[in-house]
Amino acid sequence: MRLSYPSNVKIIQVPCTGRVDILHLLRAIEDGADGVYVAGCLEGECHFIDGNLKARKRVQYVKKTLEEVGIEPERVEMFNLSAGEGPRFAEIAREMSERIKELGPSPLNVKKAA
């Protein structure tokens, strides 16, 4: 399946989305990412029982944090799909890229007029 997905998506692999920390997501935004999303297994199918459910709650926390400081919470998202769903993976990458393009660059990347 040589599926193509947008090249602006940088993939960071983790053994389980349960490994993804609030700080990983915040640091990505802090360091200039326009958006960041977590692609976990389907709910109820985590090898480690509830890693993906923990990840979802952390994503929610980061969304709330961004909202508090006036940044669109949609820049951060959680998706669930199974490892066998290659086409769905590419679709999500496109969907998220589209969403971010519509939102425009992160306010952190916009140069403030002096």
Partner 1 sequence: MIVADRKPLQEILEMIKDFNKILIIGCKGCVTVCNVGGSKEVGILASSLKIARKKEGRPLEIDEKTLERQCDPEYVDQIKDIVNDYDAIISMACGVGPQFLSERYPDSRFFPAVNTTFFGGALQHGIWEERCAGCGTCVIHYFEGMCPIARCAKSLLNGPCGGSAGGKCEISKDVDCIWDLIVKKKMEQGRLDDLLEFRPAKDWTTSRDGGPRKSVREELVQ
Residues forming the site for partner 1 (CB under 8 A): 22-23, 26-27, 29-30, 65-66, 68-71, 107-108, 112
Nearer to partner 1, 32 or 87 (CB): 32
Q: Is the dihedral of CA 70, 67, 34, 90 positive or negative?
A: negative
Q: In whole angstroms, how close is the CB of 38 to partner 1 at the nearest point?
A: 17
The answer to whether the CB of 36 falls within 8 A of the CB of 28 is yes
- Give the 3-state secondary structure percentages of the chain, helix then strand then coil, rounded to 5: 45, 10, 40
Question: In angstroms, rounded to a whole number, what is the distance separating the alpha carbons of residues 35 and 71?
Answer: 11
Q: In whole angstroms, how close is the CB of 49 to partner 1 at the nearest point?
A: 14
Q: In whole angstroms, how close is the CB of 114 to partner 1 at the nearest point?
A: 9
Nearer to partner 1, 29 or 92 (CB): 29
Question: In angstroms, rounded to a whole number, what is the distance separating the alpha carbons of residues 59 and 48?
Answer: 18
Nearer to partner 1, 70 or 84 (CB): 70
